[in-house]
Amino acid sequence: MDVSATPESGEVHKRTHEKRDGRKLYLYGWAAHDLPVTAELEAASPPRPHLRWHPLRGEWVAYASHRQERTFKPPAEFCPLCPVPEGGFPGEIPFADFEIAVFENRFPAFHPDAPPPPLDLPLRGGTATGQCEVVVYSAEHGGSLAVLPPERLALLVHVWADRYRDLLSRDAVAFVMPFENRGEEVGVTLHHPHGQIYAFPFVPPVVERMAAQFRDAPVLADMRQSMGEAYDIAGNEHAVAFVPPCARFPSEVWVMPRRFHPGPWTFSDEEAFSFGALLGETVARLDALYGRPMPYICCLYAAPKGEDGHFHFHVQFLPFLRTADRLKYLAGCEQGAGTFLVDALPEQMAARLREVTP
């Protein structure tokens, strides 16, 4: 399948493989993937997630008790995200090599065939229809976005665009969010470089508030215009990375396209290449800030279904270090009231991130 193309590298190829339990695996690359299947994992038990309504917060909570069984910090030789050589230990990607792989999560919080909620709930329940996917950036067990070559970063942007198009085309899906949790400090249990994609049957509260702001005005573009370049840390012709003046985390960075886009599915090939390169540079700068890999949560915010005309796509990096050896904890005020307390001024952090050498 021709997903897209770049002037530098030609077509993006996509191969679909169905796993033993019916889950889909997608292999993406600049070259066609034609390697034979090696060792497959045993079929997973059918997941049974459901939703419950939180009457005080006015939001859905997803319940997926089967996630307690997910893989927890395996040794590198048993990593389920590594390629599987002939005769090797079975993994999620039963091929000896690949460029980028995407597969349906074995332990999902949302599922296309989710059952109805339990009938005996004392409050409102809902069906957790949707999808959860894992995006594996590389066949290499080590590494990160900071060290992937530009061609691989561009491929990743094309992969996200393809998954957005597929998932948003489904009637049950209202919002799609690719994200990455990086570092044991934020709870990562697999060290192979990877991210995830959640396709929600509803628009989550944080995103609904964003969408409401974008409906009123081009708030992101307006903020960019008013702040000038004092908060910028890096950029190129098509994208810019900056510390937002309203940062809630000490070295928070946002990356956005300079032109309006509802999501990466409307990028040109040149914009995809530039955006991917800037994501890699941003992570490299965060790593260089304290001379160690920065633990973070990275979220891609694209338009929910029906919001394409005004929702400005961007990426938010939420780093969890406030010094080289001190974490930013979300304590009483942040967790209980939702009001963040920040120790570092955004303009000072922007200057520091500009000065570091990735």
Known catalytic residues are 194
Tokens standing for residue 148: 């992937």
Measured in degrees and rounded to the nearest 5, phi and psi for residue 178 equal -75, 145
In terms of domains, do 273 and 350 share one?
yes
pLDDT at residue 225 greater than cutoff 90: yes
Q: What is the mean pLDDT of residues 77-81?
A: 89
- Burial call 282-305: b when 16+ CB within 10 Å, e when fewer: bbbbbbbbbeeebbbbbbbbbbbe
Considering the domain boundaries, does residue 210 fall inside one?
A: no
In terms of domains, do 191 and 267 share one?
no
Question: 309 lies in which domain range?
Answer: 228-358
pLDDT at residue 10 greater than cutoff 50: yes
Instruction: Give per-residue pLDDT as tens, 264-305.
Output: 999 999 999 999 999 999 999 999 999 999 999 999 999 999
pLDDT at residue 43 greater than cutoff 70: yes
pLDDT at residue 70 in the model: 56
In terms of domains, do 195 and 267 share one?
no
Q: H-type helices in the chain, by residue range?
A: 150-168, 205-216, 219-227, 269-290, 346-355
Q: How many domains does the chain have?
A: 2
In terms of domains, do 36 and 142 share one?
yes
Give the Cα-Cα-Cα angle 37, 1, 200 (nearest 5 degrees). Answer: 85
Give the Cα-Cα-Cα angle 264, 224, 237 (nearest 5 degrees). Answer: 55
Predicted TM-score (pTM) of the model is: 0.94
pLDDT at residue 317 greater than cutoff 60: yes
In terms of domains, do 352 and 250 share one?
yes
How far apart CA 43 and CA 330 sit, in angstroms, is 38
Instruction: Give per-residue pLDDT as tens, 145-201.
Output: 999 999 999 999 999 999 999 999 999 999 999 999 999 898 888 889 999 999 999
Query: Among residues of the chain, what percentage have pLDDT more than 70?
Result: 94
Q: What is the mean pLDDT of residues 37-60?
A: 93
How far apart CA 272 and CA 275 sit, in angstroms, is 5
Considering the domain boundaries, does residue 304 fall inside one?
A: yes
* CATH number, domain with residue 273: 3.30.428.10
